[in-house]
Structure 1
Amino acid sequence: MTVESPPLSPRPYHPLDISAPDFWTADFATRDRTFGQLRAADGLSWHPPVSSVFPHSEAGYWAVTRHADVKYVSQHTDVFSSALGMSVDPLPAEIQQATSFFLAMDPPEHTLYRRLISATFTPKQVRRIEAQIQANAADIVDRLIERLRDGDEIDFVTECSAKLPMRTVSDMIGIAPQDQQAVAYAAESLFSATDDDYASFEERATHALTQIGILTSSGIELAQLRRREPHDDLMTNIVNAEVDGHQLTDVQIGSFMVLLASAGNDTTKQTTSHAFKALADNPDQKAWLTADFDVRIAQAVEEFIRWATPVLNFARHATVDTELAGTQIKAGEKVALFYCSANRDDAVFDRPGEFDITRSPNPHFGFGGGGPHFCLGANLARTELRQLFHQLLTRLPEVQVGEPEYLHSNVIHGVKRLPVKLV
């Protein structure tokens, strides 16, 4: 497949190339040293577009790396729009709309659709299913212990991290057990396509469209089924939800399914893996947490999320000529919000490169930078992490945790494999 050259840049690119594939195959600490240089410099830095298999006309993007600047952009949707897409990578608008749904909208349109979804995705709904989350977490750890007692080294990601988020989403929305694995894999591989384990460079466009098709079709079919056969689940609530005379169409529900399967599945999965490894590397903190788990877990979960920062970045586009951090930005130019950098900003976090579950306050951007796009599933993710780590820390025998194999991605901070075995 031929990749078209980007148009001429209106200005020189920064010498630190954070768009290069090699940058994103480096480890997190190495990347953050580069982001640290960008945070310390005045203004914003201009970078070449990420390589794309899709034709595009992007000349580059502004890297927003400081906590304060990410927060400002996130909260000023009138100046920094989501409507042209959320991806730092150059992607066609129709693909971004199919994968992001109301994330790729601005108020008031975004407000309407968020209200339609949030009317059925409330803290009360999370509390209603918390007992099921707890039961699922216990069952997952039961099976994990059985596998470990067989004596072989196992992959913690496959046997534990990946299981609870998908079960939770499936229970909430009503995905049939026989369809759960296919939906989980489609969500995972859609946002992991820059890793050669999922697709070669030449295959990435076809691969992405295939996974979107699987997830969209699953959502549409389930919506149609629930209209005929209502259940006590999220999908039934969604197809019946109405705000100001508006209801979601089947196509919109299909797009929401892509968003829910990925945001509700892969992100919590990655946080679980990163946090489990971090606790193994910091036994003193693990001991502090287990000494008074019920009181301390809420604080610990915030550090789990900051440390993992499962979503590395999102993008916006300037709607007017504006200024940020002393840098002039032209209308239409893309700005990339690097949450992974903001969550290591030493202007906000003391010793940001250290894992510290006693950290307080902890104004991380693991759920976005605030504003109207703050993650709708934040309470659900916290509940899953709290319940799963209660099972892991109170019931799992002592294990030896090996070195993670990381996902090669500039979107998801992912752990592909994490070997564990009984001590």
Structure 2
Amino acid sequence: MAEWTATDPASTPPALREILVTLPSTPPASPRPYSEVDLSSRAFWDRTFDEREQSFAALRRGELSWHQPFDAPFPHAETGFWAATRLEDITFVSRRPEIFSSAEGIAISPLPKQIQEMTAFFLMMDPPEHTTFRRLISEAFTPRQVARVQSQIAAGAEEIVDGLVGAGSVDFVTACSGILPMRTVSDMIGIAPGDREAVRHAAEALFAGPSPAERAAGVDPLGFMLSQIELLRTAAIEIARHRREHPADDLMTNIVQAEVDGHRLTDEQIGAFMILLSSAGNDTTKQTTSHTILALSRHPEQKQWLMADWDGRIGRAVEEFVRWGTPVMDFARTAVVDTEIRGTPVLAGEKVALFYCSGNRDETVFERPHDFDLARTPNPHVGFGGGGVHYCLGHSVAKSQLRNLFQQLLTRIPDIEIGEPEWLPNTFVHGIERLPAYIP
């Protein structure tokens, strides 16, 4: 983490100084004992997914548990959080925005609300405000634009695999997984070809943070994140302003012209949407792609089952791709009234962490949850959220990318050899940083 503190203003990134001075010097005492299972330490998140799952499985067998707040490089007022690890608890909280609010923050870490708002846009809103802004974005996706996006995805998948055939030894993440999602975002928004690499790098850096070399050189993680946010925000605002003066037959023109109940998106809101789209619409599908190709290489019988009836089976298979990969591991909500979850009292103002990574392995819901099973049905996973008003707006685009890309990969390069992954240490994204592959 950063080497600055709130008591050392000279080392604090300027954009954070005003935020930090409003924060308390020390958090209040916890109102109750913490769980013996430590979900908050760096050591816990440095474990493998399967090792962490053993702890989540233990928590699923008990009542709702209370945990220490995550470490933060600045003071905060959080005393802890409740861990929703069962799928039933995740969906219960997700579908009751009048009780469990998103407006105070969606990060499980004690990240200032103002910083979260820069990247989350309408994810940090509750109805009716959230309803208005979600409708504004939805209005831009006319049937004509949806057809255009689908065509762009299909063409992009084919072009990516064209470049992979005969590539030999590659990093699959760089050569394949990371290309189509950000290309789709760039096509949708209208990012110029010459700017796309910078936009892609900024979008990925929001989750990954500075590179090992940058961290070793003392680059501040939060300051680094803010610089990536500014790049993405500025790119979208410039395009939006241009489209207001020079409309075209594209999605950005629809976005700037969309109106619901007298509301239109401002430049700043379009910038915020770009940040959300670049992060939520990029790294999630990228990581699902990497997890899926790794799982298919480890379970060739699943690939054989899928290819025996592609058209009839790919729908079910994509749902298992997402459940298995669970690219977003957690989000949070804040109780706005005193309530309870499965009989456990939760007080107003307390945070509830929704651990999708645990819900998607819930043995009370999924038969053989630790098996990669493309025929799984039903498959009520929470890979796109736990339902309710914040269910992923881009789920159909993500599924289209996965269908098109894997159709190209599995029909044209059926004998890809996949090596051992290098994992991205992260408390939010279930990430594969590098994945060696040999492509004949």
Alpha-carbon spacing, 1:30–1:124, altered in 2? closer, same or farther (3 Å)? farther
1:352-409 per-residue CA deviation (whole Å, 9 max, x = no partner) reads 1111001001011110000000000000000110000000000015122101111100
Tell me what 1:20 maps to: 41
Work out whether residues 422 and 432 of structure 2, in 8 Å CA contact, stay in contact via their aligned partners in 1.
yes
Deviations, residues 23-62 of structure 1 (Å, cap 9, x unaligned): 1111111111100000011x21111111112332111111
The correspondence for 1:269, drawn from 286, 293, 307, is 286
Distance 1:187 1:15, change over 3 A: same
| Deviation, structure 1 residue 126 | 2.9
Residue 119 in 1 paired to residue 136 in 2?
Answer: no
- Residue 162 of structure 1 is aligned with which of 169, 178, 202? 178
Percent identity, aligned pairs only, is 57
- Paired residue for 2:371, among 340, 349, 354? 354
Tell me how far 1:83 sits from its aligned partner: 0.5
Matched, 1:98 2:115: no
Q: 3-state SS of the aligned residue for 1:62? A: strand
**1:63 is matched with which residue?**
83
Checking the alignment, whether the CA contact within 8 Å between 1:397 and 1:422 is kept in structure 2 is no
Question: Retained in 1: the 8 A contact 2:27–2:77?
Answer: yes
* Alignment equivalent of 1:80, drawn from 73, 96, 100: 100
1: CA distance, partners of 2:354 / 2:298: 29
Residue in 2 that maps onto 1:280: 297
CA distance, structure 1, for counterparts of residue 211 and residue 39 of structure 2: 17
Distance 1:414 1:198 in 2: 19
| Structure 1 vs Structure 2 CA RMSD | 1.7
Query: 1:2-401 maps to which residues of 2 (within 5 A)?
Result: 2=5, 6-41=27-62, 43-121=63-141, 125-148=145-168, 153-193=169-209, 196=212, 199=215, 203-401=220-418
Shift of 1:2: 3.0
Q: Provide Cα deviations, 1:116-173, integer angstroms capped at 9, x if missing partner.
A: 001113666333322221111011001011422xxxx210000000111111111111
Whole-angstrom CA distance in 1 between matches of 2:74 and 2:389: 29
CA contact (8 A) 2:170 2:436 kept: yes
Instruction: Answer with 121-130 or 324-333: which moved more.
Output: 121-130
- Equivalent position amino acid for 2:183 in 1: R
1:396-411 → structure 2 map (5 Å cutoff): 396-411=413-428
Looking at structure 1, the residues matched to 76 and 108 of structure 2 have their Cα atoms a distance apart, in angstroms, of 13
Residue pair 2:177, 2:290 contacting (<8 A) in 1 also: yes
Alignment partner of 1:270: what SS?
helix
What SS does the corresponding residue of 1:63 show, helix, strand or coil?
A: strand
Please tell me whether the aligned partners of residues 165 and 439 of structure 2 are also in contact (alpha carbons under 8 angstroms). Answer: no
Unmatched segments (≥5 aa) in structure 1: none
- The separation in 2 between residues aligned to 1:60 and 1:393, in whole angstroms, is 46
TM value normalised by structure 1: 0.95
Compared CA separation, residues 359 and 397, structure 1 to 2 (3 A): closer
Change (3 A) 1:194 1:176: closer
Deviating more after overlay: 383-392 vs 122-131? 122-131
| Paired letter, 1:7 | P
Find the aligned partners of 2:262 and 2:89 in 1 and give their Cα distance.
37
C-alpha spacing 1:202/1:38, structure 2 compared with 1 (3 Å): farther
Partner of 2:18: none
Compared CA separation, residues 315 and 178, structure 1 to 2 (3 A): same
Distance 1:408 1:372, change over 3 A: same
Whichever residue aligns with residue 423 of structure 2, its letter is Y
Aligned positions, number: 418
Cα distance in 1 between the residues matched to 2:75 and 2:252: 36
**Residue 350 (structure 1) shift:** 0.5
Q: TM-score, normalising length from structure 2?
A: 0.92
- Stretch deviating more after TM superposition (98-107 or 43-52): 43-52
Q: Give the distance between the partners of 1:195 and 1:7, measured in 2 at CA.
A: 35
Q: Describe the SS at the equivalent of 2:220.
A: helix
Shift of 1:327: 1.1
Asked if structure 1 preserves the Cα contact closer than 8 Å seen for 2:284 and 2:328, the reply is yes
Moved more, 219-228 or 249-258: 219-228
**Following the alignment from structure 2 to structure 1, what is the Cα–Cα distance between the partners of residues 74 and 210?**
14
Supply the distance in 2 between the matched residues of 1:31 and 1:54 (Cα, whole angstroms): 27
- Secondary structure at the aligned position of 2:54 is classed as helix
The 3-state SS of whatever aligns with 1:336 is strand
> Counterpart of 1:379 in 2: which secondary structure?
helix
Q: Contact between 1:136 and 1:164, CA under 8 Å: does it hold in 2?
A: yes
Distance in structure 1 (CA, Å) of the matches to 2:385 and 2:52: 20
